[in-house]
Amino acid sequence: MKFRLRPSLWLSTLALAVLGVFALFENWITPYDPLAVEFLPLDPPGWKNLFGTDNLGRDVFSRFVAGARISFVVGLTSVFFAALLGILAGLTAAYFKKVQALFMRVMDAIWAFPMLLLAMALAASLQPGIMTVIISIALVYSPLFARLVFAQALSLLEREFILAAQAFGCKPARLLFTHVLPNLAAPIIVQATLTVGTAIVLESSLSFLGVGIQPPTPSWGVMIQTGYKWLEQAPWMSILPGMGIYLTVVSFSVLGDWLRIILDPKQLTRKV
């Protein structure tokens, strides 16, 4: 079946591709050391410094590229672990009725907290660093995947092919991971794609508030936190990393919406 791809999808894919190249090939793309103080402070954008310099004289473009790498690593890794925890909790709760209430009430309790406040509390209680941010974001978003998997798995466990597999003596682990989980791949992939962007926003928020990535590491959140004090003299310090976050979130949202339409059989008749 042919699909007409919208310009927004092409632009989003292009933006993610460019930022992905920045993240993968940071050492080859950055013209200067992101941590080195080599130039005049607050120098505006120009040929020598494409994005200008910050208050200490560091190249903003080099720090922007390095920040893309950190944002992608934190966003993708945290969502992977959130999905893993959510899948295990959701499948276990759906199949084993005795622990269903316990597992889902724990997930509901985590989901009831404001995400930013909970992530701040978790990050502040551990040693600051990238791993702390990843763990905090993964725990915060795991209920999202657990609730999705739980709801979908409950309906799948009543289907005829699952009942037939149980009748033939299929063990729980094999039943869940070879019969149930593959049928949940589509909604999980869509949800993961949509969540990556919000995870990057959460990482930037934690870094901005001082409990995430710590200076002088060039996270986008750290760059905004440093630059907002110099908005009048050097607006590029905050605006450019902010635009990076905006483009990433919007691009992942557009891509996730497209995947939802493609992977959902009920919406295959829609034009993308």
In a domain, 193, yes or no: yes
The span from the CA of 149 to the CA of 145, in Å, is: 6
The span from the CA of 201 to the CA of 194, in Å, is: 12
53, β-bridge pairs: 59
pLDDT higher than 50, residue 1: no
Tell me the average pLDDT across 147-164.
88
The span from the CA of 255 to the CA of 272, in Å, is: 11
Contact 93, 99 (CB under 8 A): yes
In a domain, 31, yes or no: no
Q: pLDDT averaged over the chain? A: 88
pLDDT higher than 80, residue 4: no
User: Whole-model pTM?
Assistant: 0.89
**Residue 267 pLDDT:** 55
Tokens of 75: 């966003």
In a domain, 4, yes or no: no
Instruction: Give the confidence band of 266 by pLDDT, cuts at 50, 70, 90.
Output: low
**Residue 272 pLDDT:** 44
**Residue 62 pLDDT:** 94
In a domain, 43, yes or no: no
Q: For the segment 59-115, what is each residue's pLDDT rounded down to a tens digit?
A: 999 999 999 999 999 999 999 999 999 999 999 999 888 888 888 889 988 888 888
pLDDT higher than 60, residue 3: no
In a domain, 105, yes or no: yes
Contact 265, 76 (CB under 8 A): no
In a domain, 6, yes or no: no
CATH number at residue 85: 1.10.3720.10
Q: 60-95 and 236-263 are packed helices; what angle lies between their axes, rounded to 10 degrees? A: 40
In a domain, 116, yes or no: yes
Q: What is the 3-state secondary structure (H, E, C) of the chain?
A: CCCCCCHHHHHHHHHHHHHHHHHHCHHHHCCCCCCCCCCCCCCCCCCCCCCCECCCCCEHHHHHHHHHHHHHHHHHHHHHHHHHHHHHHHHHHHHCHHHHHHHHHHHHHHHHCCHHHHHHHHHHHCCCCHHHHHHHHHHHHHHHHHHHHHHHHHHHCCCHHHHHHHHCCCCHHHHHHHHHHHHHHHHHHHHHHHHHHHHHHHHHHHHHHCCCCCCCCCCHHHHHHHHHHHCCCCCHHHHHHHHHHHHHHHHHHHHHHHHHHHHCHHHCCCCC
Write out the residue range of the structural domain in which residue 75 sits.
16-24+51-265
Instruction: Give the confidence band of 5 by pLDDT, cuts at 50, 70, 90.
Output: low
Q: For the segment 156-210, what is each residue's pLDDT rounded down to a tens digit?
A: 888 888 888 878 888 888 888 888 888 898 899 999 999 999 999 999 999 998 8
Half-sphere exposure of 252 (CA within 13 A, CB side): 24
**Total number of domains in the chain:** 1
In a domain, 270, yes or no: no
Query: Phi/psi at 50 (nearest 5 deg)?
Result: -55, -40
Query: Phi/psi at 59 (nearest 5 deg)?
Result: -70, 120
Half-sphere exposure of 79 (CA within 13 A, CB side): 23
Contact 180, 137 (CB under 8 A): no
Residue with tokens 């493609």, as numbered in its chain: 262
